[in-house]
A and B are shown apart, each in its own frame.
Chain A
Amino acid sequence: MTMITHHLSDQLLMAYSAGTLPEAFNLVVATHISLCDECRARMASFDAVGGALLEDAHAEMATDSLANVMARIKAADPVVKPNATARDTLLPTPLVDAIGGGLDKVQWRAVGGGVRQAILKTSDKATARLLHIPGGAAVPDHGHQGLELTLVLQGAFRDDDGHFARGDIEIASEEVEHTPIAEPGMDCICLAATDAPLKFRAILPRLAQPFLRI
């Protein structure tokens, strides 16, 4: 396994732990953590902050509360342990669940330049999509109105911020205008999420944007 060099920020991990991110970002964070032991350990630390805060909170429970809970426990069906399911070698479980299967279940659409994308169903606060970029091809030059997360699943890309391979995540804020180019060789597949529409610099992609949702 290659070393992951581009990780989640504290801000994203904290918001994931608190449970306040849009669904599309949650999906990217969960998928990255599935591939990255370092960020998994950091997530555990942020969960621990939540646990420590919980220790200092207090509100009286109803007097019959415990009795209710015990009655519900006794009445509940026995716990059934889910069977361990086979894991996809390319796509971590959160992503398989979002797609409803493996890569063969993805409904790709061409967006020009050989690049294909598939928008995943999430809440409308942010958009998650899979991108398929042929080796050596560029993703159209774009800046952002909001935050964009791009996680590499296969292959690699390069832009002004460096080289990104499987497991690496690029966090691009509003100020960043970048032109990711897939490294030659294997096609690059990424999971990307944005909380605002991308703004392309060229006229044509910009006109295409409302139709293609890129």
Chain B
Amino acid sequence: MMDSIQPLIVSRHSKPLRHMVQGVRAFGAATAGLDRVSRKTSPATGDTDWGALLRRVADAQDSAAFAALFAHFGPRVKAYLMKSGADAASAEECAQDVMVTVWRKADQFNPARASAATWIFTIARNRRIDMLRRDKRPDPEDLPWGPEAEPDQEDALALQQETEQLTIALRDLPEAQRSMIERAYFNDLSHSEIADATGLPLGTIKSRIRLALERLRHSLN
């Protein structure tokens, strides 16, 4: 009976984020020479372990830990909502909602599955869909989550490092590629709507996004 329960694919020493660009063919010639020197040190997101602060909120209702999370993520969530088309007042209100949810769901945060920024992004995205009355977006079925499945320290560390690399790689993308990714995530636009908004051909947008994903994958190697 247990055979039907599939383990989380993120296993020890795996590189979970590399799954991102499966299906994208190698653009060896197109990307050769474009690779920049990767910056392996200097964490992109500062030295704070946001996941540890979330754990303190979950375990001890630690207001000081929450205040630090709020100071960092509140303004980021608000900016995300404003870029998605909300006015400043409703973005403020919804960012506050998101931070209330962060407190209430802190015990569901699992550092082996997502970084704090990623987890908060998913909460903000769901709130944005409600706020802008966008199409409903059901989540996938939860993975079976038994008591033995405590977050694995090594998985959590590997994920944290990959998230750092990804954040740096995104900053290092050529502006033409980065802006396409940002529009796709923040401006609530489909590829063809991006085409309308920018006047660029659809094929150009698709290939820029594909190239961007290919570079992000390179950064994780």
Contacts and interface: CB of A to CB of B under 8 A. Distances in A.
Contacts of B115: 48, 51
Interface stretch (A16-24, A102-110, A134-142, A174-182): A16-24
Contacts, number: 215
B125 A66 contact: no
B141 A37 contact: no
Interface string A57-96: 1111110011011101100100100000001000011100
A61 B89 CA distance: 10
A113 B107 CA distance: 52
Nearest to A48: B118
Contacts of B121: 47, 50-51, 53-54
Nearest to B105: A79
A182 B129 CA distance: 37
Interface residues of A, number: 64
A26 interface: yes
A65 B74 contact: yes
Nearest to B126: A19
A173 interface: no
Interface in A36-50: 37-38, 40-50
B13 interface: no
A10 B190 contact: no
Contacts of A206: none
Contacts of B209: 11, 14
B120 to A, nearest CB: 7
Interface string B187-221: 01111000000000000001001100100100000
B189 A51 contact: no
Contact of B139 (A7, A51, A94): A94
Interface of A: 1, 7, 9-11, 14-23, 26-27, 30-31, 33-34, 37-38, 40-62, 65-66, 68-70, 72-73, 76, 79, 87, 92-94, 97-98, 122-123, 125
6 contacts: A11-B206, A16-B137, A33-B140, A44-B19, A61-B92, A65-B92
